[in-house]
Amino acid sequence: MVNYYMFFFIFLSCILVLVSGFSRNLPILAFDEGYSHLFGDNNLMILKDGKSVHISLDKRTGAGFVSQDLYFHGFFSASIKLPADYTAGVVVAFYMSNGDMFEKNHDEIDFEFLGNIRGKDWRIQTNIYGNGSTSVGREERYGLWFDPSEDFHQYSILWTENLIIFYVDNVPIREIKRTKAMGGDFPSKPMSLIATIWDGSNWATNGGKYKVNYKYAPYIAEFSDFLLHGCAVDPIELSSKCDNATPKTPSIPTGITLDQRRKMENFRKKQMQYSYCYDKTRYKVPPPECVIDPKEAERLRAFDPVTFGGSHHHHGKQHRRS
């Protein structure tokens, strides 16, 4: 058992080191090597190269796919091109979850892409749940420095025992550290990788003000460059399959580099539009793991004085994947 934990520590160290060089050091999988059809019938289409897939939303159904393995920590990534034009109410998600196995105490690590009316940009939302802690939303929402419907861009999740980092085009945009204050709310059970497109009319665009307009359907999201670099787990016994893996380097990671942190801080300064830690309409007192940055608080208060300024006008927020 000691040898296993020693290996696992080295395994996670290798993941973090490889992330510094990112996907050029990791094998890209064909779709059928790593994923299976989840739902949507013909609304999921594998392209001829076998390394790309389209999932689409029409009036009949959305679509999705799921990893063939469960994973306990790792580095996971895909390049995604989102639908263009009028996309209000459309939600594209690339996330980790074990909700099918742990109905009442599931974990999640989410990228969600929220469509918009014509002339307005897509927004990206990140979130986590641990041990079924859905009553505490830990959402952050951002703009992007590019149009995600014009070309493919890489979205990645690094998940270790004590750290979760979200990346866009290899730039870290959010870091979540496991703390005692967070307790069991930090994702801690094996999860699948899932991608979906679905109708989020009731909440996704301006709190549900703008709905999906199927006149513009089908809405097509394109995925490629699949990376599933993690510790695979047997779905029945929940035992690890990575005992015999051989680490490529014994180096120990140091976390986010100074250059990466500078890029992350710059992104958050320019692009962050919402953070649960500063939402005074939801939380009179910020959740205990929050570390309040006065400059960040001031920027968000200027962006939305009602939500972040402590106004007495309460705006309800609906959020959950159907």
Give, in order, the Cα–Cα distances in Å from 92 to each of 17, 89, 120, 147.
29, 10, 16, 15
Cβ atoms 70, 192 nearer than 8 A: yes
Please report which helix (H) or strand (E) contains residue 265, including its range: helix 258-271
Known catalytic membership, residue 112 = yes
Please report which helix (H) or strand (E) contains residue 309, including its range: none
Contact residues for 223 (Cβ-Cβ < 8 A; gap 6+)? 52, 53, 54, 55, 78, 79, 80, 94, 195
Nearest to 92 by CA among 67, 124, 58: 124
Known catalytic membership, residue 108 = yes
Let me know how many helices (H) and strands (E) the chain has, helices first: 5, 15
State the catalytic residue, choosing from 103, 108, 161, 222.
Answer: 108
State the catalytic residue, choosing from 103, 112, 161, 296.
Answer: 112
In 10 A of CB 293, how many CB atoms?
15
DSSP per-residue codes, 200-246: -TTTTTGGGTS---GGGPPEEEEEEEEEEEEEEE-TTT--BS-TT--
Residues marked active site are found at 108, 112
